[in-house]
Structure 1
Amino acid sequence: MAKPMEKASIKKADLQQLLNGQVANWAMLYIKIHQYHWYVKGPHFYTLHQKFEELYKEVDQYMDKIAERILALGGSPVSTTKEILASATIKEDKPGLDAEQMVAKLTADYELLIDEMGLAMQVAEEHGDDGTADMLLGMRTSLETHVWMLKSYLGK
């Protein structure tokens, strides 16, 4: 049977791994949404071009907050391309998607992040880390709103 301190260390390590997965996913999203911003075409170009810019700026802030939280907890955030690619569950896209495909893929990526944040929040709460859980809850709530709006754009 593990001692309580050992259990806490395991949970803390698990939480930092989950948070590093978030940093990696936000880094991938930053690149992906920037790509969408650059390559979007069609009748909704102006609207989506502006929205994608708003979203990648938000992504940058979230990535930074999570990385700084990892540092505050005594961990090391992923910071190299190799680490990000190894840790991310969100995958990159090649240019050439139409606007609707971009919005659909972004919606799916946000839904993945929502699910993964839920797990990280659960681990943070089990560890008594209310600061991390609260930070993730705010981000998750914002993503849920984005998903609703993106789905509405798609007519779903």
Structure 2
Amino acid sequence: MSTLSTASILGPVGKSHRHQSRSYSLYEQQSLLPSATRPPSGYRLYTNVERDRLLFIRRSRGLGFSLGDVRELLGLADHKTHSCAAVDTKVELQLAQVRERIRDLQGLESELQRLIACCQGGVIEQCRIIESLSNRSCAPPESRGAALPQAVSYRL
């Protein structure tokens, strides 16, 4: 471990930082990030290189990359003189998946708007949305009796 002047101190382990702490632990368990030094204060101590790696992981996860994808991107990043074609391909695949999720979400949005348009107020017993969800009415002709739409899934 480097001296404190070249290290970063990342949040205490506690209730307000529980989510981040679990993420850091997961990254350590998955060998994406080395285990941090933890003094009695409960803070994680990372070198600047380790901090940069953590930021890389967090940015990649923020773009929707799976842990496996992040591992692959980190491996590619370690080879500074290689072509970036593999990185380009990985990002293009991620973009295609994002676009597919957007299409799925737009379909869900349309369906929810259709349900809202069914509502005429009143009481639950006469609720058109409840009837529609029960497949009793207010469904467009092409969807009556059709299979339920697939749920949207996200890679974690």
Give me the TM-score of the superposition, normalised by structure 2: 0.27
> Which structure has the larger Rg over C-alpha atoms?
2
Name the structure where helix makes up a greater proportion of residues.
1
Name the structure where strand makes up a greater proportion of residues.
2
Higher RCO structure, 1 or 2 (CA under 8 Å, sep 6+): 1
Give me the TM-score of the superposition, normalised by structure 1: 0.27
